[in-house]
């Protein structure tokens, strides 16, 4: 599975390492099946996903602006 994990703090680095251990591939937003956005504020990290054409992706996030949540939901 292709996973988009932006961010460089310790939590995101641990998530990246665990994804690799479990056999997943780290990917850019446009190529991901799953996005794991930083906590607690995911707003800036969600931007690449909002500019992509509609494609079903599972997105795990912290706090997103309501308009971003709606835009992601509208994309499936």
pLDDT tens for residues 23-57?
999 999 889 999 999 887 788 888 888 877 767 78
- The predicted pLDDT at position 64 comes to 85
CB burial string 29-66: b at 16+ within 10 A, e below: beebebbbbbeeebeebbeebeeeeeeebebebeebee
Banded pLDDT at 17 (limits 50, 70, 90): very high
Quote the pTM value: 0.83
pLDDT at residue 63, rounded to an integer: 84
Kindly state the average pLDDT of the residues 8-22.
94
What distance in Å separates the CA atoms of residue 71 and residue 68, rounded to the nearest whole number? 5
């Amino acid at each position: 599975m292709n996973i988009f994990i932006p961010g460089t703090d310790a939590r995101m680095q641990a998530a990246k390492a665990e994804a690799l251990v479990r056999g997943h591939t780290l990917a850019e937003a446009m190529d991901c099946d799953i996005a794991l956005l930083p906590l607690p504020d995911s707003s800036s990290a969600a931007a690449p996903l909002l500019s992509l054409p509609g494609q079903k992706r599972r997105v795990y996030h912290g706090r997103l602006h309501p308009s971003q949540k709606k835009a992601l939901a509208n994309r499936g």
